[in-house]
Amino acid sequence: MKQTFPKKEHLKRKKLIDALFAGGQKVSAYPLLLVYKTSVLPEEGIAIQAGVSVAKRNHKLAVTRNRIKRIMREVYRKNKTTFHTNGSTFAFMFIYTGREVMSYEQLEKAMLKLITNFNAAQNES
């Protein structure tokens, strides 16, 4: 799998996002929260569609929110090959819950822990 994050892997459909928050499962590793759900994706040949979100309540300035989202997308892009999907297709939403702005290294560490937690949850079910 390439280390790219093309448009077809972005989670954009409102129905899919609503279904994700209505009946998705959660895994967390501070400051990241992953809401995921197995679903039929509209694009062929991809296993995961992902989106990122930062609360306006915690980060008032759009500049800060955009920077955090940019870093989160980059960390996901670099590490997305380590998710074990077991042949299923997933919709992911990464939510940044921290109040302070973390560096790339700190976010990457949190993402790796989140991936470990997700893979453990998949092995259990």
Cα gap 49→15, rounded to integer Å:
13
Domain-located, residue 123: no
pTM of the model: 0.94
Range of the domain at 86: 7-117
Cα gap 111→73, rounded to integer Å:
11
Cα gap 106→102, rounded to integer Å:
6
Please state whether 45 falls in left (phi above 0), alpha (psi between -120 and 50) or beta: left
Domain-located, residue 100: yes
Domain-located, residue 16: yes
Domain-located, residue 1: no
Burial 10-35 (b: 16+ CB within 10 A, else e): ebebeebbeebeeebeebebebbbbb
Say which CATH number the domain at 84 has: 3.30.230.10
* pLDDT tens per residue across span 4-58: 999 999 999 999 999 999 999 999 999 999 999 999 988 888 999 999 999 999 9
Please state whether 86 falls in left (phi above 0), alpha (psi between -120 and 50) or beta: left
Domain count, the chain: 1
Average pLDDT over residues 68-85: 95
Domain-located, residue 74: yes
Domain-located, residue 122: no
Domain-located, residue 62: yes
* Local structure of 117: helix, strand or coil: helix
Among 50, 47, 48, which Cα is nearest to 32's?
Answer: 50
Percentage of the residues of the chain whose pLDDT score is greater than 70? 99
H helical segments located in 24-101: 62-79
Domain-located, residue 37: yes
